[in-house]
């Protein structure tokens, strides 16, 4: 997954009037087949319009899909002909794009991403999260798309919760970089200055601006942030710049309560606590988290499956090789800090008089 070049394009398009051939020419693609992978609802409508814009190439639209490794195998079996002669286009949200990205990479085919909803940092990242044969979700290394096509009219139709989730995933970079710094200091990770700058810049892009996709300035900053996050992982060769203890805890919660919470909502909710563990009460982060309505007292989301200590133990087991702030504190210390953090956060919320944010997660 280590980068040797930047074969990545970001294009703003209108799918309704898309000149697909012109896109192929710009990207240097000479393929006779286009394989469109999509969902079954709104994304399928967009995919069918996109398919209608393809001229002189065979197009197939595959919509009966799920995000499993088994699905990829079945798609690979149904692919007729040379993989270098087919372009894979993912049209949809995170699950669809992850499958399309993984499928294209394993097939050895070029890949275009057309997001219809952006709820995490996956549109330009080299990571695909798929359900394995053991029924567990796992991250897989792939290559990022050759290009991501952004249709603002399409993205503006996505529910607000998707935007909150996408911002949450970006915010988690702040915690991830602190964990990365700590791991480097302890000789447990290698530095990458460019990836670190990109990850931190992504967070700066979404802080301080009202989260509204209809706002021109915010829209641009948001897309840039999501792309910066994805490419930071590509540059570093792993997910380190965007995934620290907050991701480990989120994965542990998701394993305990599968399918219950969107990824970005969860990691964005947990990130302020991880930042706090690094001795930082981050006002700008807290302010945006409050505006978004993220639930920083994340133990309320866990239910009866875990107490605090068992959740931390489960989080540490998610990726044994990922050294984070969880590895330098006992469960008792972490729990004490959690309660201190939640009290400090609520006290500040009362002080600034913003006691009724939109509840993004419950
Ligand atoms: Zn993430």
CATH of the domain at 15: 3.40.50.1970
Which residue among 96, 122, 155 closes a domain? 155
Would residue 320 count as lying in a domain?
yes
Ligand 1 centroid–CA 172 distance in Å is 7
Q: What gap in Å lies between CA 139 and CA 324, rounded to an integer? A: 18
* Predicted local distance difference test score (pLDDT) of residue 348: 87
Q: What gap in Å lies between CA 290 and CA 346, rounded to an integer? A: 10
Six-digit token pair at 23?
């896109």
Domain that holds residue 165: 160-351
Ligand 1 centroid–CA 32 distance in Å is 35
Ligand 1 centroid–CA 292 distance in Å is 17
Tens of pLDDT, residues 91-120: 999 999 999 999 999 999 999 999 999 999
Ligand 1 centroid–CA 263 distance in Å is 7
Would residue 1 count as lying in a domain?
no
* Predicted local distance difference test score (pLDDT) of residue 360: 56
Would residue 143 count as lying in a domain?
yes
Domains in the chain, number: 2
Ligand 1 centroid–CA 169 distance in Å is 5
Specify whether 194 is located in the same domain as 341. yes
* Predicted local distance difference test score (pLDDT) of residue 355: 43
Would residue 357 count as lying in a domain?
no
Specify whether 94 is located in the same domain as 216. no
Specify whether 184 is located in the same domain as 137. no
Ligand 1 centroid–CA 287 distance in Å is 20
Would residue 150 count as lying in a domain?
yes
Tens of pLDDT, residues 298-316: 999 887 778 999 999 999 9
What's the distance, Cα to Cα, between the start and end of the chain in Å?
36
CA angle 30, 36, 38 (to 5 degrees): 155
Specify whether 255 is located in the same domain as 120. no
Specify whether 143 is located in the same domain as 86. yes
Ligand 1 centroid–CA 70 distance in Å is 23
Ligand 1 centroid–CA 249 distance in Å is 12
Give every residue of the chain whose pLDDT is below 50, as ranges: 3, 355-358, 362
Ligand 1 centroid–CA 121 distance in Å is 6
Q: Which residues of 34-57 are buried (b: 16+ CB within 10 A; e: fewer)?
A: bbbbbbeebbbebbbbbbebbeeb
Q: Any idea what the CATH number is for the domain that residue 260 is in?
A: 1.20.1090.10
Ligand 1 centroid–CA 82 distance in Å is 34
Would residue 196 count as lying in a domain?
yes
* Predicted local distance difference test score (pLDDT) of residue 147: 95
* Predicted local distance difference test score (pLDDT) of residue 356: 43
Specify whether 15 is located in the same domain as 121. yes
* Predicted local distance difference test score (pLDDT) of residue 362: 47
* Predicted local distance difference test score (pLDDT) of residue 361: 54
Would residue 48 count as lying in a domain?
yes
Specify whether 191 is located in the same domain as 144. no
Which residue among 155, 171, 199 closes a domain? 155
Specify whether 310 is located in the same domain as 209. yes
Specify whether 112 is located in the same domain as 213. no
Ligand 1 centroid–CA 243 distance in Å is 6
* Predicted local distance difference test score (pLDDT) of residue 18: 97
Specify whether 218 is located in the same domain as 129. no
**Measured CA distances, 219 to 25, 43, 113, 222, 360 (Å):** 27, 20, 18, 5, 20
Q: Can you give the pTM of this predicted structure?
A: 0.89
How crowded is residue 160: how many other Cβ atoms within 10 Å of its Cβ?
14
SS3 track for the chain = CCCCCCCCEEEECCHHHCCHHHHHHHHCCCCCEEEEEECCCHHHHHHHHHHHCCCCCEEEEECCCCCEHHHHHHHHHHCCCCHHHEEEEEEECHHHHHHHHHHHHHHCCCEEEEECCCCCHHHCCCEEEEECCCCCEEEEECCCCCEEEECHHHHCCCCHHHHHHHHHHHHHHHHHHHHHHHHHHCCCCCCCHHHHHHHHHHHHHHCCCCCCCCCHHHHHHHHHHHHHHHHHHHHHCCCHHHCCHHHHHHHHHHHHCCCCCCHHHHHHHHHHHHHHHCCCCCHHHHHHHHHHCCCCCCHHHHHHHCCHHHHHHHHHHHCCCCCCHHHHCCHHHHHHHHHHHHHHHHHHHHHCCCCCCCCCCC
Would residue 66 count as lying in a domain?
yes
Specify whether 54 is located in the same domain as 188. no
Ligand 1 centroid–CA 140 distance in Å is 13
| Cα atoms found within 13 Å of the Cα of residue 132, Cβ hemisphere only | 6
Which residue among 155, 177, 199 closes a domain? 155
Ligand 1 centroid–CA 173 distance in Å is 8
Specify whether 175 is located in the same domain as 296. yes
* Predicted local distance difference test score (pLDDT) of residue 349: 82
Ligand 1 centroid–CA 274 distance in Å is 14
């Amino acid at each position: 997954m280590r980068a040797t070049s930047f074969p990545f394009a970001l294009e703003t398009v209108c799918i309704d009037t898309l000149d697909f051939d012109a896109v192929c020419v710009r990207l240097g693609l000479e393929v006779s087949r286009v394989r469109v992978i999509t969902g079954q609802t709104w994304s399928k409508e967009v995919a069918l319009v996109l398919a209608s814009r393809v001229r002189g190439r065979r197009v197939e639209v595959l919509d009966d899909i799920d995000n499993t490794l088994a699905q990829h195998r079945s798609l690979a079996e149904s692919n007729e002909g040379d993989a270098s002669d087919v372009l894979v286009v993912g049209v949809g949200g995170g699950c669809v794009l992850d499958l399309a990205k993984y499928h294209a990479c394993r097939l050895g085919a070029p890949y275009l991403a057309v997001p219809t909803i952006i709820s995490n940092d996956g549109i330009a990242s080299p990571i695909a999260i798929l359900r394995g044969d053991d029924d567990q979700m796992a991250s897989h290394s792939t290559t990022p798309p050759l290009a991501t096509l952004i249709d603002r009219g399409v993205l503006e139709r996505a529910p607000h919760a998707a935007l909150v989730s996408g911002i949450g995933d970006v915010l988690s970079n702040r915690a991830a970089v602190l964990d990365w710094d700590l791991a480097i200091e302890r000789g447990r990770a290698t530095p990458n200055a460019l990836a670190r700058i990109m990850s931190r810049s992504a967070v700066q892009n979404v802080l301080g601006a009202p989260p509204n996709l209809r706002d021109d300035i915010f829209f641009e900053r948001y897309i840039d942030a999501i792309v910066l996050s994805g490419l930071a992982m590509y540059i570093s060769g792993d997910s380190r710049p965007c995934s620290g203890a907050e991701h480990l805890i989120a994965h542990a919660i998701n394993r305990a309560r599968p399918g219950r919470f969107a990824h970005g909502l969860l990691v964005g909710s947990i990130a302020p606590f991880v930042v706090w563990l690094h001795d930082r009460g981050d006002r700008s982060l807290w302010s945006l988290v409050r505006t978004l309505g993220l639930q920083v007292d994340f133990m309320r989301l866990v239910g009866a499956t875990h107490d605090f200590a068992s959740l931390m133990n489960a989080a540490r087991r998610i990726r044994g090789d990922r050294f984070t702030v969880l590895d330098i504190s006992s469960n008792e210390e972490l729990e004490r800090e959690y309660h201190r953090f939640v009290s400090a956060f609520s006290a500040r919320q009362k002080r600034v008089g913003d006691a009724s944010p939109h509840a993004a997660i419950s």
